[in-house]
Structure 1
C-alpha cells in the first residue's frame, strides 16, 4: 500500500491508501474522489485524469511513453515537467507519499 495525496484545485486534500498494482487513477476512483473523471476507464485514450505531480516526485515516477505524451496535448493547461495522466502511473510501495494536484478543470 502507498499513501497518495490528491489535492483539489481549491486546496482540499484527500489522503488515501492505494494498493500496489493499481494506478493512481484507480485509487481516486475506488475512494470516490472528485476531479479525476477517467472517461476512458484508464485506456490512455483521453486526458480527463490529468494531474500535476509535485516537482520532487516528477523525476521519481517512471517516465511516460509516447501515447501518454500525445494525450497530454489535450489536457487542461499541461505542464511540460509536472503533467501526468493518473491512469499511467502504477502504484508501488516506492510511491508512498506521492502528492498529485488536480487542474482547475478536466477537458
Structure 2
C-alpha cells in the first residue's frame, strides 16, 4: 500500500493508504474526501479533480497529456504543480506523495 497525504480546501490533512494501480482521484474519493468532485468519473473531461502536487512528485509522476493541459488551462487556479488526479495512476514510487485539492472553479 502507498501512503499519500491529501489536504482538503480547509487545510486539513489526511493520510491515505492506497493500492498501486488505482488513480490518485480514486484514492482520494475512496477516503471520502467529497470536495474532489470528479464529475466525469475520471475521463479527463471536466477538471473537477484538480489537485496541486505539493511534495515528492517530481520524477515519479508522468508528463501530462495535451487534453489534461487544455482542461487545466480553463482553471482560474492553475499553478505549475497543477494536475488532474484522474490522470495519475499510482505506482509504488509515489508513496509519500503530498497533494492539496485545488479551489473550486
Please report the TM-score for the alignment, with normalisation by the length of structure 1: 0.90
Task: Give 1 or 2: higher helix fraction.
Answer: 1
Q: Return the TM-score normalized by structure 2.
A: 0.91
In the alignment, what sits opposite 1:21?
Answer: 21
Name the structure with the higher strand share: 2
Farther off after superposition, 46-55 or 85-94: 46-55
* Contact map agreement 1:6 1:15 (CA 8 A) in 2: yes
Provide the aligned length of Structure 1 versus Structure 2.
Answer: 105
Deviations 1:21-42 (A, max 9, x none): 0000001111111321000000
Q: Indicate whether 1:38 and 2:56 are aligned.
A: no
Shift of 1:99: 0.5
The Cα RMSD (Å) is 1.4
Q: Which runs of 5+ in 1 are unaligned?
A: none
Q: Which runs of 4+ in 1 moved over 6 A?
A: none
1:52 aligned residue: 52
